[in-house]
């Protein structure tokens, strides 16, 4: 019974640990996900810097063209230069739009990462608590197991001691014959009948009995009975 109890508890611990392992691996997944996000953000920030550098060049180009306007003489040259300036401005505006778009995306990702980090932190705390709890449970159960095992050892020793004492006493009182067989319900020490219910239990063979008449320790050996029958 105690062994079965211990097996059941061991199984429960195993289940708890399995669930915990799953959660820990989910944590690792979440961490990998965050790392992926952060890498993406780093790349986008790099792209943004490139665009910003381009932007500086484009603005410089526009300024350069604008200053050149002063030197232009003919209307045709002026028209051409004006168009160039307009194009450069348009180009710079597109560039700026791209930068704004990227900034918005980065902002979104950063807040997503922040949220993921918060979740991760909470989950980590929970898993740490859970781990602690499982460890405590295992410790308590192991203590209980030790106590139970010690108690069982004590019980076995008591039974053995009692049996030995009984055996010695019986040997003294019953002409050296302390343990006897039972054949067809009859005690082979005193040849009295064993009550049928007790005899049936004896036949199952998982318990020690004594003869109700002579108190000898009785057992049942089916081979001898078969031989007799
Ligand atoms: Zn007897």
Q: What is the mean pLDDT of residues 140-144?
A: 81
Taking 60 as the threshold, does the pLDDT of residue 224 lie above it? no
Query: How many A from CA of 215 to the centre of ligand 1?
Result: 6
Query: How many A from CA of 193 to the centre of ligand 1?
Result: 8
This prediction's pTM: 0.55
* DSSP assignment string, 13-40: HHHHHHHHHHHHHHHHHHHHHHHHHHHH
Query: How many A from CA of 221 to the centre of ligand 1?
Result: 16
Average pLDDT, rounded, for the chain:
87
Query: How many A from CA of 194 to the centre of ligand 1?
Result: 8
- Residue 82: CB partners within 8 Å, gap ≥ 6? 69
Taking 60 as the threshold, does the pLDDT of residue 226 lie above it? no
Query: How many A from CA of 184 to the centre of ligand 1?
Result: 13
Query: How many A from CA of 218 to the centre of ligand 1?
Result: 8
Question: How many angstroms separate the CA atoms of 180 and 217, rounded?
Answer: 6
Least confident of 29-43, 56-70, 101-115, 196-210: 196-210
Query: How many A from CA of 154 to the centre of ligand 1?
Result: 30
* DSSP assignment string, 150-212: HHHHHHHHHHHHHHHHHHHHHHHHTTT--EEEEETTEETTT-PBPPHHHHHHHHHT-S-EE-T
Taking 90 as the threshold, does the pLDDT of residue 13 lie above it? no
Query: How many A from CA of 23 to the centre of ligand 1?
Result: 65
Taking 90 as the threshold, does the pLDDT of residue 228 lie above it? no
Query: How many A from CA of 212 to the centre of ligand 1?
Result: 7
Query: How many A from CA of 186 to the centre of ligand 1?
Result: 8
Closest to 44 measured CA to CA, from 116, 100, 115, 92: 100
């Amino acid at each position: 019974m105690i062994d079965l109890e211990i097996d059941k508890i061991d199984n429960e611990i195993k289940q708890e640990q399995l669930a915990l392992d799953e959660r820990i691996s989910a944590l690792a997944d979440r961490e990998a996900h965050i790392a992926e996000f952060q890498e993406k953000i780093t790349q986008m920030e790099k792209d943004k810097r490139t665009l910003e550098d381009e932007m500086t060049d484009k603005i410089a180009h526009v300024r350069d063209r604008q200053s050149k306007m002063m030197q232009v003489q003919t209307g045709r040259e002026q028209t051409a230069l004006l168009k160039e300036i307009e194009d450069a401005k348009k180009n710079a505006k597109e560039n700026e739009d791209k930068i704004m778009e990227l900034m918005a995306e980065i902002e979104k990702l950063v807040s997503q990462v922040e949220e993921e980090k918060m979740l991760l932190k909470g989950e980590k705390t929970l898993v740490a608590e859970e781990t602690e709890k499982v460890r405590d449970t295992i410790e308590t159960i192991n203590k209980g197991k030790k106590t139970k095992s010690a108690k069982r050892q004590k019980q076995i020793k008591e039974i053995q001691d009692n049996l030995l004492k009984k055996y010695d006493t019986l040997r003294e009182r019953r002409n050296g014959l302390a343990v006897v067989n039972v054949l067809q319900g009859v005690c082979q020490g005193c040849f009295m009948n064993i009550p049928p219910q007790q005899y049936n239990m004896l036949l199952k063979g998982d318990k020690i009995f004594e003869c109700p008449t002579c108190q000898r320790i009785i057992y049942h050996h089916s081979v001898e009975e078969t031989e007799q029958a």
